[in-house]
Amino acid sequence: MNKIRTGDEVIVLTGIDKGKIGRVLARVDDSYLVVDGVSQVLRHERPDPHREKEGGIHSKTMPIHQSNVAIFNAGTGKADKVKIRILESGQRVRAYKSTGEEIARSEQ
């Protein structure tokens, strides 16, 4: 079970975007995430008239490793760790480690 999922609000811990808060847009693979507004790069693209694609300089969001982000706890206003709690029914739910509060399911 992945502790950080699509739709979660995360805070960047290291790098040039340290301290930025964004929502996870996608998981590229087991280790990399695409976070909204984080790790923006500029790409120079050539025009392609066959695909009706304009050329120029475009901003693109690049993946970031999941070890460089932590889930953002809005209650405390800080980064937090995630623990997996097993309910009596056998269901596994995610919870903030500091407060024990269950993490709300995000709409995907």
| CATH code, domain with 92 | 2.30.30.30
As a whole number of angstroms, the distance between CA 26 and CA 36 comes to 9
**Does residue 82 fall inside a structural domain?**
yes
**Does residue 105 fall inside a structural domain?**
no
As a whole number of angstroms, the distance between CA 43 and CA 56 comes to 8
**Does residue 107 fall inside a structural domain?**
no
Domain that residue 51 falls in: 9-96
Q: What's the burial of 84, exposed, middle or buried (CB within 10 Å: 0-12/13-18/19+)?
A: exposed
What is the average pLDDT score of the chain?
92
In contact, 9 and 21? CB cutoff 8 Å: yes
Q: What angle do CA 68, 20, 69 make, to 5 degrees?
A: 20
**Does residue 103 fall inside a structural domain?**
no
pLDDT at 1: 60
Q: Is the pTM of this model over 0.95?
A: no
pLDDT over 70 percentage in the chain = 96
pLDDT at 78: 94
Number of domains in the chain: 1
